[in-house]
Amino acid sequence: MATYAPRVRSKVDVFISQLRARAGQPVNITEWSMFFTFDVMGVVGFGKDFRQLEDAKEHSAIKGIHDQMAMIGLLSQVPWFLYMVGSIPAISGSYYAFTEYCYRQVNEKKALWERTESQDLTDIISWLLKAFKDNDPSAPPSQRALGEDGRVLIIAGSDTTGATLANAFYYLATNPSVYKQLQNHLDTLFPDDRESFTYEQIRDIPYVEAIMRETLRLKPAVPSGPPRVTPPGGLQVDEVWIPGDVNIIVPQYVLQRDDRNFVDADRFMPERWLAENKGKMVLNEEAYFPFQIGQYGCVGKQLAYMNLRFAIVLAALNFDLGLAPGEDGIEFDTGAKDTFTLTVSPLQVIFNKRMKA
């Protein structure tokens, strides 16, 4: 993870400088959050910069993924059908184009390795490629599976983190007292310099952690979670018997908003996660699992946190923010769709440069 920090930081710096250039004007923070997280995943996933932040527009390979997520959301309950549809260009359109793009990146890297015999292990796909070449038992079983891993990596890492960052900005813009408290806290930690801290210095700031946790509790980026299959002998859950080989889901969104698990469960209250309140406000921590748990739990959790920590801390140190005139946030708050990952609506936010205290 430590080797990713400078690359993530350099992308966050572009993100912040673009917000600075648009200070005082409405910014669609959903779009910019996605630019940021897709760019990061391109760089640390493939060693390929999509440069969406620099160009202020969506890369052609990524265009359309969000429309296609609707199809994925619907068909992921029938994985074999999704696989089949995803392979037919005429039906799957830009989803197919993105798949092809990812396969090409993996193939190019593989060819480069074969030509140069140098194995540059600075991005995630290179580790998978190395495992594949070494016939490691953990490796993807075929060239196609390797390409699929590349595709899944980008979608799983970018869409989720981008939606979470946009959600965090929504909560910060609509809860000014929380944002002020965050800024005061960070000002105390970094009184003289708002830019040159290390990742180590921001990786465990309780109020920042609380804001991320609370955002992921109310708006988990994979709201229903992937399906699981019951064991062949069936499964007893309290008084309910589920037969064997049945697909089930345990939706985070529902459990994480249940008053039996969290006091005032529908309200954004980051302070519930602070040590002094947790015992009273988090009634059942086992019901909190935005990254899922167990051996199939998200492999990218720490990378997601790194993106979010850098972006939230730098934004709070550099800007005051609020919803843009004419933006009430209602469509953003209520119109998000469960398309396997969470598809969020545009949100117009104004960032104003902070005066030096």
Q: Establish if 68 lies at the interface with ligand HEM (CB under 6 A).
A: no
CB distance 247 to 76 below 8 Å: no
Residue closer to ligand HEM by CB (options 297, 335) is 297
Chosen residue from 119, 299, 335, 353 binding ligand HEM by CB under 6 A: 299
Three-state DSSP state, 337: strand
Q: Cβ of 170: how many Cβ atoms within 10 Å?
A: 25
Cβ-based neighbour number of residue 221 at 10 Å: 24
Side chain identity, residue 74: L
* Smallest distance from ligand HEM to CB 283, Å: 22
Q: How far apart are CA 205 and CA 279, in angstroms?
A: 19
125 in contact with ligand HEM (CB under 6 A): no
Question: How many binding residues for ligand HEM (CB under 6 A)?
Answer: 21
Q: Which two tokens stand for residue 185?
A: 């806290």
DSSP H or E stretch at residue 179: helix 176-189
Nearer to ligand HEM, 147 or 157 (CB): 157
Binding status of residue 27 toward ligand HEM by CB under 6 A: no
Check the CA dihedral 62-67-73-78 and report its sign: negative
Which residues have C-beta within 8 Å of that of residue 187, sequence separation ≥ 6? 317, 357
Q: Which stretch binds ligand HEM (CB under 6 A): 8-16, 110-118, 269-277, 292-300?
A: 292-300
Sign of the Cα torsion 260, 171, 303, 108 reads: positive
Per CB under 6 A, contacts with ligand HEM among 213-232 are: 221-222, 225-226
Comparison of 2 and 90: residue with beta carbon closer to ligand HEM: 2
Q: Which is nearer to ligand HEM, 153 or 311 (CB)?
A: 153
Q: Per CB under 6 A, which of residues 152..211 are in contact with ligand HEM?
A: 152-153, 156-157, 160-161, 164
- Residue 80 makes contact with ligand HEM by CB under 6 A: no
290 interacts with ligand HEM by CB under 6 A? yes
**By the rule CB under 6 A, 297 interacts with ligand HEM:** yes
With CB under 6 A as the contact rule, which of the stretches 53-61, 131-139, 149-157, 271-279 interacts with ligand HEM?
149-157
- The answer to whether residue 292 forms part of the interface with ligand HEM (CB under 6 A) is yes
Q: Which is nearer to ligand HEM, 43 or 222 (CB)?
A: 222
Contact call for residues 132 and 146 (beta carbons, < 8 A): yes
Q: Which of 115, 296, 326, 357 binds ligand HEM (CB under 6 A)?
A: 296
> DSSP for 188-235?
HHSSS-SS---HHHHTT-HHHHHHHHHHHHHS-SSSS---EE--TT-E
CA 133 to chain centre: 30
Contact in structure between 173 and 270 (CB atoms under 8 Å): no
Q: Draw the binding track, 81-120, toward ligand HEM (x: CB under 6 A; -: no contact).
A: ----------------------------------------
Amino acid at 88: I
**Residue 158 in contact with residue 38, Cβ under 8 Å?**
yes
Comparing CB distances to ligand HEM, the nearer of 80 and 296 is 296
- Residues forming contacts to ligand HEM in the complex (CB under 6 A) are 152-153, 156-157, 160-161, 164, 221-222, 225-226, 290-292, 296-300, 303-304
